[in-house]
Structures are given as C-alpha cells and as structure tokens.
C-alpha cells in the first residue's frame, strides 16, 4: 500500500495540525452572517463531541462510582471513590497488574522485533538490486493481505505440537504467544521502505567511498536518519498488538499469562452486572497511556493512517 498512500500522506501531512492557510482578506463575520456561515458549524461540532464523549464520560464516571453495579451509575458522578482502582490491584483471581505487565512485555518485544526486522528488509529492498527483488516485494504485499489469524486453526495445532516438544513455547505461555506474533515481522516493510527511499542515495555512496561497508551504511547513516519515523511506525504497531484478541483468547487461557484484552474480557464476561466498576477502572487505566500517546503524536498518526494503517 504505498504509491497512492505515499502521495496521500504527503498531501495530507497538514491534516493533523490546524490548517493555517488563512486568507489575509478573510475577516470574522458578525451577527446573523456569522451564524449563517460559521455558527451552525459549531452546533454540529458540539453535537459530534457529545456523541463522541458520552460513552467515555460514562465509563470514567462508573470507575469512580463506589457502587459497583451498573444500575447505580449515572453520567455525572454523584459520589467519588477510588475503591474500584484499589480492587484492580488486590484480587489475586484477576491480577490486573500482571495482565498489564504481560501486555507490555508482549507489545514491546513484538513491536521491537517487527520494526527491526522490517527495517532490515526494507533496507535490502530500497538499496540493493538483486534477482527476485520485484517478486519478493509483491509476494510480501500479497502475503501481508492475509491476516495471520485466518490460519488460527492451523496455528493452534502447530503450537500444540510445539508445546509437546518445547513446553516453554507451547500454548499458555507468553513466549509462545510472542513467537506466534513474530510471524508479522515483515509487517512494516512497505511503509519503512517508503521512508528509506526518501533518504538520498548520495549519502550512502559518500560513506562507501569513505570505506564503510553495507552494514555500516545501514546502522550508522540511514537508521539514525529515520529513527523518529521508526518510532512512530512502532507506536502504531504497538496499538494493534495490544488490541490482539483472537489469537490471545486461544493461546492464553491461564490467568497468569493473560494479556489485558483477554483478561478483561474474562472478567466482564464472567458477570456483566456486578463487575462494571472494576471493568471501568481497568478500562480507564489501560486507555490513558494510549490516548495520551495518540494526542501527542496526532499529526504523525494522521500521516500513518492515511498511509494505510487500520487500527484494530
């Protein structure tokens, strides 16, 4: 997904920030004309904000409401307490902190590996001309179109037998689940190749004349230049890894190895009426870092999603 996306991401790169192409002749209209031309837009905007915010406010409110059942929850909190937040950390049957940690471990390992291996492959495709390059790129594009989880049945069989031989990587192990997700190691090749292509080749050639080998060119010249972009690519991948549910629900069945997605689902599914307080607090704590990250990286993310990343 690159040619179009490459061009779109160029043209859209201002979308994240405010459009500052303000015509100097424009002045703010007043009175009735303001309402006709500008004011009604604010009304639509406010309605949209209400639609976007109600569910979020409800959950935040429920997380602070000491009464755990749903019936007592209102949009505007009438009472305030941190009971639910405390209960996240003192119930051994639903070890929220453990699940949080598991999720971070999985996401950090998988995303680092994905960005590292993708960047390696992208370098080869961007800088070398070799037999099978075109075919390789197309095959990659094709294979990438098939989500790994479509093969879930086979993956389950595969890891059942892996577990018989190497119990450390079998079902119900974080290591096995991480290994499984490493199947997506080349997931970012196309995106990163686009960035590599934009680094002038003269830089490599100059370095090669100075006696640098291909690995030095890669690690010491190109990689540092694209590091910020790799970070953003990684963060987008991060969000999709922590949201992975299908494979996790099959591979991680024991409490101690669950990720947030499956762990929270188990709790909610167990008793939908009385776990809402716990669940709301869990949802708030899990969302805050991701939401902050999104706001902070808004303009890069807009570039990234228009380049074809679809968040799960």
Q: Binding of another protein at residue 42 (CB under 8 A)?
A: yes
Positions 84 through 113 that interact with another protein (CB under 8 A): none
Considering the rule CB under 8 A, would residue 214 count as an interface residue with another protein?
yes
CB 283 within 8 A of CB 63: yes
The residue range among 9-17, 79-87, 94-102, 222-230 that interacts with another protein, by the rule CB under 8 A, is 9-17
DSSP 8-state secondary structure symbol assigned to residue 124: H
Tokens 């994240």 belong to 16
- Which one, 32 or 154, has the nearer CB to another protein? 154
Q: How far is the CB of 215 from another protein (least distance, A)?
A: 6
Stretch that binds another protein, among 53-61, 84-92, 93-101, 222-230 (CB under 8 A): 53-61
Would you say 140 and 190 are in contact if contact means Cβ atoms under 8 Å apart? Answer: yes
Task: Determine contact, residues 170/252, Cβ cutoff 8 Å.
Answer: no
Assess contact for 8 and 307: CB atoms under 8 A.
yes
Q: Does 305 bind another protein (CB under 8 A)?
A: yes
**Is position 11 an interface residue for another protein (rule: CB under 8 A)?**
yes
CA angle 256, 257, 258 (to 5 degrees): 100
- Of the candidate spans 77-85, 86-94, 136-144, 228-236, the one that interacts with another protein by CB under 8 A turns out to be 136-144
37 touching another protein, by CB under 8 A = yes
At what angle are helices 298-306 and 223-242 packed, to 10 degrees?
Answer: 80
Q: Which stretch binds another protein (CB under 8 A): 67-75, 92-100, 198-206, 222-230?
A: 67-75
Q: Does 199 bind another protein (CB under 8 A)?
A: no
Instruction: Assess contact for 5 and 197: CB atoms under 8 A.
Output: no
The answer to whether 33 contacts another protein (rule: CB under 8 A) is no
Q: Is 77 in the site for another protein (CB under 8 A)?
A: no
Per CB under 8 A, the list member of 81, 101, 225, 265 interacting with another protein is 265
State yes or no: residue 228 binds another protein (CB under 8 A). Answer: no
Examine residue 80 and tell whether it contacts another protein (CB under 8 A).
Answer: no
What is the CB-side half-sphere exposure of residue 218 using CA atoms within 13 A? 16
Q: Measured between alpha carbons, how far apart are the two ends of the chain, in Å? A: 17
Taking the complex as a whole, the smallest distance from the CB of residue 86 to another protein amounts, in Å, to 20
DSSP E strands: which ranges in 92-200? none
- For residue 128, what are the contacts with CB-CB under 8 A and spacing of at least 6? none
Site for another protein contains 148 (CB under 8 A): yes
């Amino acid at each position: 997904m690159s040619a179009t996306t490459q061009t779109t991401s160029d043209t859209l790169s201002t979308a994240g920030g405010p459009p500052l192409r303000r015509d100097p002749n424009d002045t703010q209209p007043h009175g009735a004309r303001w309402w006709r031309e500008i004011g009604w837009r604010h009304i639509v905007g406010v309605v949209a904000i209400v639609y976007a915010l109600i569910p979020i406010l409800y959950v935040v409110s429920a997380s602070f409401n000491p009464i755990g059942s749903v019936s007592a929850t209102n949009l505007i909190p009438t009472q305030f307490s941190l009971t639910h937040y405390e209960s996240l950390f003192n119930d051994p049957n639903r070890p929220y902190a453990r699940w949080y940690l598991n999720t971070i471990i999985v996401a950090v390992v998988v995303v680092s590996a994905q960005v590292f291996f993708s960047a390696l492959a992208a370098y080869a495709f961007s800088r070398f001309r070799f037999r099978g390059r075109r075919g390789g790129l197309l095959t990659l594009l094709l294979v990438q179109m098939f989500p790994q989880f479509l093969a879930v049945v086979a993956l389950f069989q595969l890891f059942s037998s892996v577990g018989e031989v190497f119990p450390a990587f079998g079902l119900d192990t974080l290591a096995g689940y991480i290994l499984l997700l490493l199947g997506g190691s080349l997931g970012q090749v196309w995106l990163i190749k686009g960035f590599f292509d934009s680094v002038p080749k003269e830089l490599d050639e100059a370095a090669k004349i100075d006696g640098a080998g291909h690995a030095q060119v890669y690690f010491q010249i190109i990689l540092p230049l694209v590091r910020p972009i790799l970070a953003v690519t990684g963060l987008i991948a991060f969000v999709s890894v922590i949201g992975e549910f299908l494979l996790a629900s099959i591979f991680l069945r024991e409490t101690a190895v669950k990720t947030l997605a499956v762990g929270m689902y188990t709790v909610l599914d167990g008793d939908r009426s009385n776990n809402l307080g716990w669940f709301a607090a869990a949802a708030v704590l899990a969302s805050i870092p991701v939401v902050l990250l999104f706001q902070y990286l808004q303009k890069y993310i807009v570039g990234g999603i228009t380049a074809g990343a679809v968040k799960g």
